[in-house]
Every structure is written in structure tokens, then in C-alpha cells.
Chains A and B, each alone.
Chain A
Amino acid sequence: MTLVVDAHVHLGVDPAHGFRQERSELLERMGQAGIDVAIATGFPRPNRMLAVNEELAGLLGDGILGAGLIAPGAPEAPAEVDRLIDDYGMYAAVIDVESTFEYYLVHGAANSRVTATMDRLAERKLPVFIHAHHPLQRFLTADAALGVDALARRYPDLPIVVNTRMPSIALTFSHPNVYVESSLDTASPVDLAHYCSLAGARRFFFASNAPVEHPKIKKMAFERAAVSEEERALMLGGSVIDVLNLPRGQ
């Protein structure tokens, strides 16, 4: 039986929005929802990449796997990519557009620092989650979509997971390395079935964004979506296990 994997949760304190989630709270919610594995990230905080990742590393285990924050424009970012893999054993990186305004995504053209970081991510084959949600937009903006498109073209072997459905779903049509997770969706079974039909279950991941939403609520939506059981199992865990090369047993 495929593990149920929540592809996007947060641990720690979020001073920007007032959220917080302790490790024990996450484990309790995972238990209530029937989640086997959660991919956790610290709450994005400007200029705190190293400290947030170090704190997160101390909270992993018991089904909690890590996805470390990377601010690609920071001079220490390429070395931090190495540290995520070699020191912390993390499975992905997270680029948060909201906290650090990754304007190269808007322009579709990166400077030398960003390029060095992206090159390192590609060399180390560390999948990248892009929190592509502009602070004032609910959907990935057209500008940011062009930026993701540029990244996907330049790094065709690097899995890029975007957390907004529109127009990210359209990007999956032309880029086999672009994936979408559900953290910004608000638990509509109709929408989820629609995305599955468009992008395919291998390109779409269950993600709760806990503590913003309780994982059992988001999981209910996947359980009620009108898809095949094979597709449901892929979206609830099988696909992200393959893309992030996660352990296949608990």
C-alpha cells in the first residue's frame, strides 16, 4: 500500500502571518489525518535562511522529512544546497517568492548569484518547490509563470514543484519537469479531479500547508475527488515519492 505523503507543511513560528506549528502538533495532525510522511519546511523569513534550516533539521524524523529554504540570491545559497543534502539529509529545496521577492521569476532572467544557486540545485538533483504565490495574488501571476517556464527550460532535469494551480497546470503540458502541489487550493474535490484530468496524477501532489489548513480536511478532498483509485494513490503519495526519491517504507 502506497504511503500517504503530505508534500507541504510548515514547522516553527511564522512572524509574518501569525501561524505556528510545533513538532508535536504536526505529528498529532498527521495521526488524525492518516498521513504517513510530511515534507516540512520552516516558515520563510527574510535573511534567516541558515537559521531556519538548522532549526528544521533538528525537528526531522518520525515521518517528518525536510525541504530546506533556499534564497537563490544569497551568496551562501549554493553552499546551503550542499548542506541540505549532505548535513541535513533533506529531500528538496523551497524557494519562497513571498518572503524574498524572487524577481528573476517575474523577469525570466536570473543574475549570476541566482544562476549559481540554480546550477547547484541542478547539479545535486535536489527538487525545488516554488512558493510562487505573490503576496497580493492568489494565483501564480502571468509574469511568474514566465519565470517558471524559463527555469524549466534551462534546467530540464530538475523537478520544479509549483504550489499554485493556475497557470501552473498549463506549464505541466509543455514541461515534463514541472509539477503542482495543492497547498494553496482550498479543498474542492471538483477542482482536484479537474486538475488530475488536465495534468495527470503523476504531476499533482497532495499538500495541506498545515497549519494553514488541517491535513485531514485537504485529504478529505482528495478522497472525494472523482478519480480512479490508482490516480488517488498517486496524488496522495505515490507521485511525490517517485519525484523526490523518498523512502518507500515508514
Chain B
Amino acid sequence: MLIDAHNHLGPRMPFLSTFRQADELLNTMDKAGVEKALVQQHVSDLGYMEALVEGLEYISQAVGEHPDRLFGCALVHPLVEDSLVLAKKALDAGAANSLKIWPGADYQPTPERMRAIMEIAREYGVPVRVHGDIDDPRSSPLALVALCNAYPDVNVILAHLPGEYTLDGLATVAAGLAAPNLHFDTSTCHSSMIGRAIVELGADRILWGSDSPWWDIEIELEKIRVLSLSPKDFALVTGGNALRLFRLERSR
């Protein structure tokens, strides 16, 4: 089962002129043979409460209309208390089964600052997803080690491996070795970096994701295929890990 662990939907898609609607995503999923996909709103929605509400409502509606194909992720900010209220509503309604933070929005993801979010994740048994960016020390894998160690029972998934343009991935490997509950999604990364992370950390720590619509689902999947993984590892990276971490089998 192919599960894409990183997609965006909603009315505000930078660099795209229109909405990204659920039907469009489902069509691209079908072409690529993808069964399920995580959907989330764009981080820029965090700047304005009405945008955050509207975006999450759009995600919730899409998940509600396609519960067998889509599962949601609620965007939160540790300094925006209302975002946590919205996220809990989405978790209660089954519209989301993960949380997402973007530390590049000017905060350090320290254990203390992240306490409320991590406690929600612990209470609901959902992973916390983090935008990864090796060039931003707040979004670096090494910035998450203390957080992961403070909450060892909460799974954390760092998006974009990272990073989008980083060549050696040393920080990814070092952080992954130091924090067993830290996982990585592959979206936007070079295939060679994905392969290296799988070798160093193990296939059970890596989730395939596309970051569509900006990145192409079939191209991002081809980055996994060119690695010539064993069938077992390919299945883990492209679906098995998402099933486990997002508890998709239990929730459906």
C-alpha cells in the first residue's frame, strides 16, 4: 500500500494560481497508484487566524468526504493558543491524526516551549510533524534531539529529511541516532540523501512523502524506486511506517 505522508490542500497555495482541491489530489494519487495521503494546509495560514480556521476546515471537509483516502494534519504554533484549540477539535472529530509545527516561524522547539503541543500529542497518541530545514537552526534535526528525548513516548517526524539541498545529511544521521523516536519524511530530497538515511538509520525511520502540489507525486516516488530497496524496506518507507505512526489501520 502506497501512502504519501506529505501533501497540501486548500485555498492558499503559494506559486499556484488556484485552490488545490481534494479531487485534484485524488486524481494524481490514482495515477501514481497511491492509496492514502496525508493532507495539511500551508504554513502561511499561521499568520492569520481566519486563514488558519478556513484552511483547517477545508482539510477537515476533504478528510470527511474521503476518509479511506485522506488523513489530516493540524497546523499548530506553540505561541498561538487558539491553534491548539482548533487542533484538538480536529483530533476529536477524526479530521486529523497528527500535528505539524514550523519552527522557522520564529521560535525554538524547546521541550518547555513545546510542552502543550507534546502533551496533546501524547494524550491523543499522534505524531508531531516538524518542517525540516538544515539552514534554519530552529528547524534542524539537531534542534529536535532534546525535545524527542524529553518526550520519548511521542513520535516526531521531521519533514524534508532534511534537507532540501543539503548534501551530506550528517545532522540527520546524528540526530536520528540520538533520538530513537525521531523519524524523517523524504519529501523534496535528493534520492541519494534518502538512500543514505535509510542505510544509516534503518528503513523503519523513513517515510515517503511528496510535498505535492509543488513537488510531483510520481517523481518523488521515483526517487524511492531508483534506490532499489529490498521489498521489505520499500514497503516500510512507502507505506508501512505511515500505517504504524499515523495508526491508520486502527482509525479506519
Contact = CB atoms under 8 A, between A and B. Distances in A.
Interface of A: 16-19, 133, 136-139, 184, 186-191, 194, 209, 211-214, 216-217, 220-221, 224
A137 B135 CA distance: 5
B189 interface: yes
A220 B222 contact: yes
B121 to A, nearest CB: 29
B219 A224 contact: yes
Interface stretch (B47-55, B108-116, B158-166): B158-166
Q: Which of B133, B188, B216, B219 has the most CB of A within 10 A?
A: B219
A191 B15 contact: yes
Nearest to B190: A213
Contact of A220 (B134, B189, B190, B216): B216
B16 A138 contact: no
Interface string B47-91: 000000000000000000000000000000000000000000000
Contacts of A214: 191, 223, 226
Contacts of A139: 135, 165
Contacts of A138: 133-135, 163-166
Contact of A221 (B133, B189, B219, B226): B219
B135 A136 contact: yes
Contacts of B218: 220
Contacts of A191: 15, 214
A188 B191 contact: no
Contacts of A213: 190-192
Interface residues of B, number: 28
Contact of B216 (A133, A194, A209, A224): A224
Contacts of A209: 190
Contacts of B189: 186
A217 B192 contact: no
A27 B220 CA distance: 23
Given A186-B189, A190-B16, A194-B15, A217 B222 contact: yes
Interface in B166-211: 166-168, 188-193, 196
Contact of B215 (A18, A137, A187): A187
Given A194-B15, A214-B226, A217-B223, A188 B166 contact: no
Nearest to B165: A138
Nearest to A213: B190
Nearest to B220: A187
A187 B219 contact: yes
A217 B226 contact: yes
28 contacts: A19-B192, A137-B135, A138-B135, A138-B164, A138-B165, A138-B166, A139-B135, A139-B165, A184-B165, A186-B164, A186-B189, A186-B190, A186-B215, A187-B216, A188-B188, A188-B214, A188-B215, A188-B216, A189-B216, A190-B15, A190-B213, A190-B214, A211-B192, A213-B190, A216-B222, A220-B219, A221-B216, A224-B219
A18 B164 CA distance: 18
A224 B222 CA distance: 14
Contacts of B215: 186-190
A212 B190 contact: yes
Nearest to A32: B226
B136 to A, nearest CB: 10
Contacts of A212: 167, 190, 192-193
Contacts of B133: 138
A209 B163 CA distance: 16
Nearest to A224: B216
B211 to A, nearest CB: 8
Nearest to A98: B167
Contacts of B165: 133, 138-139, 184, 186
Given A138-B165, A186-B215, 13 more contacts: A137-B135, A138-B134, A186-B189, A187-B220, A188-B188, A190-B15, A217-B222, A217-B223, A217-B226, A220-B222, A221-B216, A224-B216, A224-B219
Q: Which 7 A-B pairs have the closest CB atoms?
A: A138-B165, A190-B214, A213-B190, A17-B168, A188-B215, A220-B219, A138-B135
A216 B16 CA distance: 25
B175 to A, nearest CB: 16
A223 to B, nearest CB: 9
A142 B165 CA distance: 17
Interface string B104-138: 00000000000000000000000000000111000
Contacts of B214: 188, 190-191
A139 B133 CA distance: 12
